[in-house]
């Protein structure tokens, strides 16, 4: 990978034919330090959001020592990059063979579960180990989040008593975890979830050693400008302090999107224009899965010198494959004089965009280039002096 100072300079100098992934290591490092310094507990990175080895190394170098892994492949990946990292296998339904390998080969001692069957599976796979931290996942509401995670996993409050009591008998340390959904837009989501945790602890009358508030910490996108992350941290810590747990109990979180969204953006070329539809060289089967399938809007910028003076209008995008579903409705607001051959930067694709790329129809990722400018939007630059120091392409909140 080579380095460049700006997306505009890269577009003008290289005129790339394939999409280019623009990486900003300094943005990921800044996000990691923010969580390490300001969240009053343990922050562990949710690897599924972006499993890039380079990103894992950046987070490790900036204080993220624990990683939420969802598969044995992620266990192997993180161990290969950061052998001293603590791995927590937080998928509630795992293959017994994966549990056994994680425990015996890679030293994983933390597992999540949401059923008696999974608890028994963990017992068998670890041969009755007595050094386990077991986190019972509870089902909580996703009503305050843009993407729900409330239907697939989690034990209902009415069934939590027996599972917590059974797990307490097996676990060296008992945890309760939950997930409020992706892109939580209000700190109240965590407060409400922790009220359900309170009820479960009281009902089961068990000693709880870990409260894991999961992921859901937001990034910033057009039409989705959340409160400051400090507001989330404060609400979570206050709710944690009021729970009936021991003084030595630990508070954990599992940020994914919030740690990596600003890490990457995408440089694409317009291949055709049809009215307010732009055909670009990446799409639903590339880095724009969320834009296509859940209508996610990402910040966009026309890279042209001199800068266009045309008024902005809303465009939709078509990706490069032969599939009609390769369509991103947007609207993506760009100058009305966009034309074939123009380059567009699409921002905030470090979370899930990089992770979900395929090679369908033979369209694969192009080069990756390290940038030293600022991401197109940020939650980590808020004071006026810092805002003035960053480049003009940043969307300031």
Q: What is the mean pLDDT of residues 144-172?
A: 90
**Residue with token string 């045309």:** 310
- Residue 186: what pLDDT? 94
Q: How far is CA 253 from CA 11, 121, 240, in A?
A: 38, 25, 12
Q: What is the mean pLDDT of residues 82-103?
A: 98
Each residue's pLDDT tens digit, 136-152:
999 998 888 887 777 78
> Is it the case that residue 6 has pLDDT exceeding 90?
no
> Is it the case that residue 382 has pLDDT exceeding 50?
yes
- Residue 390: what pLDDT? 43
Contacts 24+ apart (CB under 8 A), 54-59: 54/23, 54/25, 55/28, 55/260, 55/263, 55/350, 56/81, 56/82, 57/81, 57/82, 58/25, 58/28, 58/29, 58/32, 58/263, 59/28, 59/29, 59/32, 59/259
Taken in order of first residue, the domains within the chain and their CATH numbers are 2-23+261-389 (2.40.37.10), 26-260 (3.20.20.10)
Residue 288's SS3 state is: coil
- Residue 139: what pLDDT? 94
Helices vs. strands in the chain: H and E counts, helices first = 12, 19
CB 50 within 8 A of CB 349: no
- Residue 168: what pLDDT? 97
Each residue's pLDDT tens digit, 250-309:
999 999 999 999 999 999 999 999 999 999 999 999 999 999 988 899 999 999 999 999
- Residue 3: what pLDDT? 80
- Residue 397: what pLDDT? 37
- Residue 391: what pLDDT? 41
Range name among 28-32, 90-94, 350-354, 381-385 with the lowest pLDDT average: 381-385
Residue 392: pLDDT band (50, 70, 90) is very low
Each residue's pLDDT tens digit, 182-205:
999 999 999 999 999 999 999 999
Each residue's pLDDT tens digit, 314-328:
999 999 999 999 999
> Is it the case that residue 123 has pLDDT exceeding 80?
yes
Active site amino acids: 322
> Is it the case that residue 389 has pLDDT exceeding 50?
no
Q: Which of 349, 170, 343, 199 is nearest to 267 (CA)?
A: 343
Q: Cα(367)–Cα(385) distance, rounded to whole angstroms?
A: 34
The sign of the torsion formed by the CA atoms of 36, 40, 41, 43 equals negative
Cβ neighbours for 15, distance < 8 A, ≥ 6 positions apart: none
Q: Cα(215)–Cα(204) distance, rounded to whole angstroms?
A: 25
Q: Cα(215)–Cα(146) distance, rounded to whole angstroms?
A: 13
Each residue's pLDDT tens digit, 59-88:
999 999 999 999 999 999 999 999 999 999
């Amino acid at each position: 990978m080579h380095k460049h100072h700006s997306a505009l300079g890269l577009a003008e100098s290289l005129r790339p034919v394939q999409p280019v992934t623009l990486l900003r290591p300094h943005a990921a490092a800044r996000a990691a330090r923010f969580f390490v310094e300001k969240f009053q507990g343990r922050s562990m990175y949710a690897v599924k959001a972006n499993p890039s080895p380079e990103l894992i190394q950046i987070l490790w170098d900036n204080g993220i020592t624990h990683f939420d892994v969802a598969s044995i492949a992620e266990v192997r990946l993180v161990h290969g990059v950061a052998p001293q990292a603590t791995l927590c296998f937080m998928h509630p339904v795992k293959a017994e063979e994966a549990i056994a390998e994680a425990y015996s080969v890679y030293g994983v001692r933390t597992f999540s579960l949401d059923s008696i069957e999974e608890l028994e599976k963990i017992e068998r796979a670890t041969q009755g180990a007595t050094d386990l931290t077991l986190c019972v996942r509870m089902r909580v509401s996703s009503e305050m989040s843009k993407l729900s995670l409330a239907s697939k996993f989690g034990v209902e409050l009415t069934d939590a008593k027996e599972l917590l009591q059974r797990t307490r008998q097996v676990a060296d340390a008992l945890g309760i975890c939950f997930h409020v959904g992706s892109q939580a837009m209000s700190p109240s989501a965590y407060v409400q979830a922790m009220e359900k945790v309170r009820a479960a602890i009281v009902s089961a009358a068990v000693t709880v050693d870990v409260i894991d508030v999961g992921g859901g910490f937001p990034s910033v996108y057009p039409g989705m400008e959340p409160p400051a992350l400090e507001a989330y941290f404060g609400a979570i810590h206050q709710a944690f302090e009021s729970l009936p747990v021991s003084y030595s109990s630990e508070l954990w979180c599992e940020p994914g999107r919030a740690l990596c969204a600003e890490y990457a953006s995408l440089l694409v070329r317009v291949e055709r224009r049809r009215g307010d539809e732009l055909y670009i060289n990446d799409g639903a089967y590339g880095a724009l899965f969320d834009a296509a399938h859940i209508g996610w809007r990402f910040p966009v910028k026309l890279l042209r010198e001199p800068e266009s003076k045309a008024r902005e209008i809303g465009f939709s995008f078509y990706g490069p494959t032969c599939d009609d579903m390769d369509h991103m409705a947007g609207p993506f607001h760009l100058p009305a004089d966009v034309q074939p051959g123009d380059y567009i930067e699409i921002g905030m694709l470090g979370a899930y965009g990089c992770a979900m790329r395929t090679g369908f129809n033979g369209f694969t990722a192009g080069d990756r280039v390290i940038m030293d400018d600022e991401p197109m939007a940020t939650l980590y630059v808020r004071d006026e002096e810092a805002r003035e120091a960053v480049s003009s392409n940043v969307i300031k909140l």
